[in-house]
Structures are given as structure tokens and as C-alpha cells.
């Protein structure tokens, strides 16, 4: 075993070795390890990413950059990396990870591909595919993996060092209690959505309350238009009224209970399958949770440095197109539909728990607000840019960010109702106020 070298941390680093020399000295490939007894859970993998960055730095120091293949990312109760210049048996490198990059960027692409395969269930075919897949699966994967993957796609640090990955991993793991929160709502019809209906053309609804104990409850709803008869608008407002009643009657009600009550109300008082929704709660101890159905989305923005943010998607996408995409990145549906709705199927309702710290922003938006600018700027990048611009302008973050999000949707065509609810998390002593009115 003359070629086998061990780093000071005890993990295996193998600059070059023949397969016959490995024996039982190193663990299985991470993807294989996920199928073995005692396999690491997705949460354990993400919780221990700091160890991966440490070993990656050690590998680069010993073997140089561009020496990592997907089969070389291994797990034996701790991270192990095997460096080589050749492809290994059984695990083929994704073409894009080696053909489109070299050196350090190739190493990062390799780690990206293996993490996505281990956590999301299939190999990505490109950086863009990796990011779309982890965002579709958000809420089902450990919090923040999309921001880690974004850093691997487009590293901000110096080549050959994981300093920025370490900083980002630590940032996402921060925990802190004693917070207060306020919410701000903006909604717009969308100029191309407007039809001049007497009852109104906005089928979105949103509202929030703040309890005497300091718990913030929120709801964002999007009516499903159906035949254009106003049924979506009615369903969204029926669901919001049901949520408000639950918040009024119970001081300590979880979002999933509110969702069930809103669903029952839509079933009895509105058209079937007529609304998607996200309900949420932020507690003074920093615990936050969301429950919902459909294609509305929620995001966490956390301060990174003095003036920037990192974006984390919190909720999955529940559409027929997203379901097909999870299995096949080339699958396409001309008529993608929402698969989970209030008044329809809520069996697949999601629930997400996470922690917030002072300075965080929770952004909950309907699909009409979460618009990607094709070929230029996707929505999470826009969130970071808009928040950064608010900081530079000295604008009040919560209300100005909500307004900027809906304004951006209109500037990109105004094709749909666009609603943004922004929760501004602060230290407990600075968050005060009475319950605002609920409304859409």
C-alpha cells in the first residue's frame, strides 16, 4: 500500500493507486453508501459538509486540482476523497463535469454532481439541471443545499480553496433565539392578466397576524382560474378567512392545521381544486415552519457580509412538469398542471421547519411573482439583487422588497397576478406593533 496516503485528519487521500490496492481501506462511493446498512441520511451528509471542504482542501494540497472523479467521493462514517487522473469502475463521470471545466472548477463540478445524485436521486446533466432539480425538491432536501450547489456552480472564492464554501456552510447553520418579526404584503393584478371583471381580476390573497405572545402567522394564496368564472378568487378568499378564524380561535396553531381548515372551507364553500397556498408561522424563539400545496414558493434570504444575501428555497414545486423532471431532465409536458390544491388533493401537502436569525427575510410569493427572466436572471438571483439594492438605497427592507418583487413581475410582462409577502426578522426588542388587517 505504498501509494496510500492519509491526511492529518485521518481521512484517506489517494493521489494514484490501482484498484487492486484499495482493498477495504476506503469506504464505498457515496451513492453506493446510501444503500448500505448504516447509510448516512441526507441531513447527516449536509450537516457534515464542513468536513468535506476540509478534506477537499487537503486533497488539492497533496494532489493538485482537477484530480477528482465522481467515484472518488466516498463515505466511511466520514468523508474520504480519492484523487486520480482516470475514470474509475462502476461510476461514470457526467460528461459536463469534465468536458466543460478543468482544474478546480472540475473538482467542484464533481462534488456538485455527487451531492445532487446522492440527495435528489439522479445524476444532473448540467449545472442548470442540478440547480433546477434541487430547487424543485426543496423542503424535501436539507435546508440550504441549493445555495451550496449554487456556490459549487459559480464559486466566488479563490481557485483551490474552499474558504467561501466553509463560510457559507457555517452561515446556513447559524441558530439564534429571541427574534421578532413583521410582515409586508404587495400584490398586483398584472397588466396582461386584467380582464375587467366586476368582482376583480386578482385571484391572489395574503394576510398575516401577530399574536400577543409574538408569534407571526401568515398566509399566501393563489386561486386556480379554471373556467375564468371567479372561482379561484373566491377560493383564495374563503381559505384566507378560514386561516384568520383559526388564528383568532387558537393562540398556538401550526401551519398544517391551518391548511387542513382552509382545505375544508374550500371544499364546502368554493369550487374544487381552486387554490394553492402556503401557511406559515414564525415564533419568538426563532423556530419557523411552513405548510402548503401547489406552486407558490417560499424563500429564505440570509445576510452574507455587510450588503449581500444568500437565497435558499424552502418549498417544493408541486406540478406535473416538476414530477416528470425529477426523473428525467428532458421530460416536457405542454399542459403542466398543479397537482396539489386546496379543495382537491392535499395528500401531498408539504411541511417545512427551519430556524431564523435577526436579519433574515422570509419571502413567500405566488407563481406570478416568481418569474425567471429567461437567459438573463432567474428568480433567486433577482431576490438577492433586489435585496442588495434595498440595502444600498437605505430603503425599509420589508415593504420595499415586496414592492420591488411585484414591480419586477410587471416589468417582465405582467402575465399573472403577482403577490409577495416579506417577513422581516429582527431582534425581539425591535419588533413591535399590533395585528394588521388581513387582506389580499
What DSSP string describes 290-327? EEEESS-EEEEEEEETTTEEEEEE-S---BHHHHHHHH
| Strand blocks (E) in 1-67 | 5-6, 12-14
3-state class (DSSP) for residue 371: coil
Q: Is the dihedral of CA 137, 138, 140, 142 positive or negative?
A: positive
| Distance between CA atoms of residues 176 and 285, nearest Å | 8
Burial profile 366-381: b = 16 or more Cβ within 10 angstroms, e = fewer: bbbbbbeeeeeebbbe
C-alpha cell at 7: 491526511
Measured distance CA(168)–CA(148) in Å, rounded: 7
The share of the chain scoring above pLDDT 70, in percent, equals: 87
SS3 336: coil
Residue 364 grid coordinates: 413567500
Calculate what percentage of the chain has a pLDDT beyond 90: 67
**C-alpha closest to that of 90 among 30, 13, 21, 46:** 30
**pLDDT value at position 96?**
55
Cα–Cα distance measured from residue 343 to residue 354, given in angstroms and rounded to the nearest whole number: 27
In whole angstroms, what separates CA 258 from the centre of its chain? Answer: 22
- Please report which helix (H) or strand (E) contains residue 106, including its range: helix 103-120
Domains and CATH numbers, the chain: 5-172 (1.10.510.10), 179-430 (3.60.40.10)
How many CB atoms sit inside 10 A of residue 159's CB? 12
Summarize the confidence of residues 228-233 as an average pLDDT.
80
Mean pLDDT in the chain? 87
Longest alpha-carbon distance in the chain:
82
What backbone torsions phi and psi does residue 205 show, to the nearest 5 degrees?
Answer: -150, 150
Q: pLDDT digits over 11-27, tens only?
A: 545 544 333 334 446 78
Is the pLDDT assigned to residue 8 strictly greater than 50?
Answer: no
Task: Confirm whether pTM is higher than 0.75.
Answer: yes
Return the ∠ at Cα 146 (arms to 140 and 147), rounded to 5°.
Answer: 140
Give the per-residue pLDDT at 103: 85
d(CA 210, CA 434): 7
Amino acid at each position: 500500500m505504498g501509494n496510500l496516503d492519509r491526511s492529518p485528519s485521518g481521512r484517506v487521500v489517494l493521489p494514484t493507486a490501482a484498484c487492486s490496492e484499495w482493498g477495504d481501506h476506503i469506504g464505498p462511493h457515496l451513492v453506493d453508501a446510501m444503500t448500505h446498512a448504516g447509510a448516512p441520511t441526507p441531513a447527516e451528509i449536509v450537516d457534515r459538509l464542513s468536513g468535506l471542504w476540509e478534506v477537499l482542501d487537503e486533497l488539492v494540497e497533496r494532489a493538485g486540482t482537477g484530480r477528482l472523479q465522481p467515484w472518488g467521493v466516498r463515505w466511511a462514517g466520514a468523508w474520504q476523497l480519492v484523487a486520480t487522473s482516470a475514470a474509475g469502475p462502476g461510476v461514470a463521470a457526467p460528461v459536463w463535469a469534465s468536458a466543460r471545466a478543468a482544474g478546480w472548477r472540475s473538482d467542484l463540478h464533481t462534488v456538485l454532481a455527487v451531492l445532487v445524485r446522492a440527495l435528489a436521486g439522479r445524476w444532473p446533466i448540467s449545472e442548470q439541471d442540478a440547480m433546477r432539480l434541487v430547487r424543485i425538491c426543496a423542503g424535501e432536501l436539507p435546508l440550504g443545499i441549493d445555495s451550496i450547489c449554487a456556490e459549487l456552480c459559480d464559486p466566488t472564492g479563490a481557485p483551490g480553496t474552499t474558504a467561501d464554501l466553509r463560510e457559507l456552510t457555517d452561515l446556513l447553520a447559524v441558530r439564534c433565539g429571541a427574534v421578532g418579526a413583521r410582515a409586508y404584503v404587495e400584490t398586483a393584478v398584472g397588466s396582461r392578466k386584467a380582464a375587467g371583471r366586476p368582482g376583480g381580476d386578482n385571484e391572489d390573497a395574503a394576510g398575516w397576524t401577530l399574536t400577543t405572545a409574538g408569534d407571526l402567522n401568515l398566509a399566501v394564496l393563489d386561486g386556480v382560474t379554471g373556467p375564468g368564472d371567479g372561482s379561484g378568487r373566491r377560493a383564495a378568499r374563503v381559505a384566507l378567512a378560514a386561516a384568520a378564524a383559526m388564528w383568532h380561535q387558537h393562540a398556538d396553531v401550526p401551519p398544517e392545521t391551518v391548511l387542513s381548515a382552509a382545505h375544508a372551507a374550500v371544499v364546502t364553500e368554493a369550487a374544487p381544486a381552486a387554490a394553492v397556498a402556503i401557511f406559515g408561522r414564525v415564533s419568538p424563539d426563532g423556530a419557523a415552519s411552513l405548510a402548503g400545496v401547489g406552486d407558490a414558493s417560499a424563500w429564505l434570504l440570509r445576510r452574507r457580509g455587510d450588503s449581500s444575501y444568500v437565497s435558499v428555497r424552502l418549498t417544493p414545486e408541486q406540478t406535473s412538469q416538476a414530477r416528470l423532471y425529477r426523473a428525467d431532465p428532458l421530460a416536457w409536458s405542454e399542459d403542466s398542471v398543479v397537482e396539489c390544491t386546496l379543495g382537491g388533493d392535499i395528500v401531498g401537502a408539504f411541511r417545512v421547519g427551519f430556524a431564523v436569525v435577526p436579519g433574515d427575510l422570509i419571502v413567500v410569493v405566488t407563481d406570478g411573482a416568481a418569474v425567471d427572466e429567461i437567459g438573463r436572471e432567474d428568480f433567486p438571483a433577482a431576490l438577492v439583487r433586489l435585496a442588495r439594492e434595498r440595502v444600498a438605497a437605505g430603503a425599509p427592507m420589508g415593504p420595499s422588497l415586496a414592492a420591488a418583487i411585484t414591480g419586477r413581475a410587471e416589468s417582465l410582462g405582467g402575465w399573472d397576478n403577482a403577490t409577495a409577502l416579506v417577513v422581516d426578522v429582527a431582534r425581539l426588542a425591535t419588533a413591535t406593533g399590533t395585528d394588521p388587517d388581513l387582506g389580499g
